[in-house]
Structure 1
């Protein structure tokens, strides 16, 4: 396990007159990807509109819950969707694994949403058929100008009268899950860590997004619940997360933190996933090692390469990277002991005089 120790004097960034540590560089990068207030306010407004419509449709005894990145406090910009659930009263057991499937309730939710919000959102589209779990709501109107749409995943759910958690749709039947508990666990981790958990998760989600999403967002967060301690900064947190993720995913899927649903599966080949995680961690360690050794430009260049997003974390200029690579090579040569030295005295070899010709 690699332990991060910040350079005491910081590093002077290329094209910057101020001195910054990698942590400061990372903070600026994180601020570029976190959701802005205008996006967040509009997303919450739309979520509240849907919640009100669903409560009106399913009655006062129903309850809504929030889930996903906005509820968890780790949303990225551009913001493209929201997650919302409605827990529907089912006192007679009409619905559920021993009763009706979710389609009837999903169609009621979809019809109510269309009727209530089509006037404000003329391009509104609501889908039920073919969906695995959610009623899909496409507003046809983004909250961020850099994307083309904004959507909502609406889950119709039932209380599980036999144990913890909820019954949620799985095509035409039901699965057990615990989205309310998940949100409680994530919020508790965020608060107890001074929100280091949320900040580190946001960075890891962005790394995943820039590397073909080897893990879903919920898997990133679930692994973080077991690895992100309250005393960690974001560099320490990412290193600890990679350590834990590599160790855990090598041999198993991530268990449900609420111990209700099944394990969180991984896409693709497990060995390829773990190899990708190891390579990413190596690049992060490279950045930290360069900072510790005083090679400021190489540290930022490696961190930029780790995220693979020039808008989030621009790399230094190529000529400055080359100059510091040459300096590092020269420093390494200067520090290398001479092969002809023994102790502090040069090694000498006795030689027998020879002539270049024979008689």
Structure 2
């Protein structure tokens, strides 16, 4: 017992010698709390500035490329309104101050350029009261508005709003647009991705996209993945690889050698990566068309891939494991821009040149 106590005492004395040695300045807890709130407000404003940029570009792409989105379409007006109650919990205590929100009515914080909402004269900071006389809830506001518009379709909508304390009514006529969810996330990654729950555009890629045209090619790229069914194709390839590996595992095990499913796992991994680089190049190609159809000038959009290779991921200059080399993406974007410019000069439809059997991804001939 004495030995145990001595050991504990020695450990305590040893730890005492491993502590910081500087005399740090004392900080008032209230001052720290005030600075924390100030920085949270700044971060929230920055987040919603980025969200507005993504939403604005995404809306142009959604409308211009509705013919490509098959059944994933819905009526939209290009407006985003919230209340503090409808925002994530960690935003609520300072949301009203950060975004000039009210607790009583949803406040518009984003209106897409050239959208039905913009054309009707709706502005940021307008308080939206009702759609066709139906009061808008203060919780889950954005989701409620989206659902209401899906049910209403493209019929004109009477929107009751309050601006600077004065009530007024405007009429908004929704348009059909692609409805795949496109979300904005603040992360340290320079990336965008597509999945079963929609598209995620991360703040890192938004930051290096110097123009909205460059951002449009990124969002268009992810929309192309969705519309062309790349995720389902990768899953099919993975299953084929898994089945092939399973057969090898079974054959080896017949010989009395256990594999632990090694070949199944490795063949499935290889199957999932099959055509990955080609899928990414195809998404770059089709996504560029989506951006052009939305009215964006592709000249200079290839510089995004220069920035990626030079400043963000130098490995993209040398390795093409799942994505094309950055130089390939740079040159392809420049070539696609020239292809689209030639079609415009000849007054031809801005439709990607797909293989004959890929008709599901092609819009009607009259669509430009």
- TM superposition score category, shorter chain reference: under 0.3
Higher RCO, 1 vs 2 (CA within 8 Å, ≥6 residues apart): 1
TM-score (normalizing by structure 1)? 0.27
Counting helix residues as a fraction of each chain, which structure ranks higher?
Answer: 2
TM-score (normalizing by structure 2)? 0.27
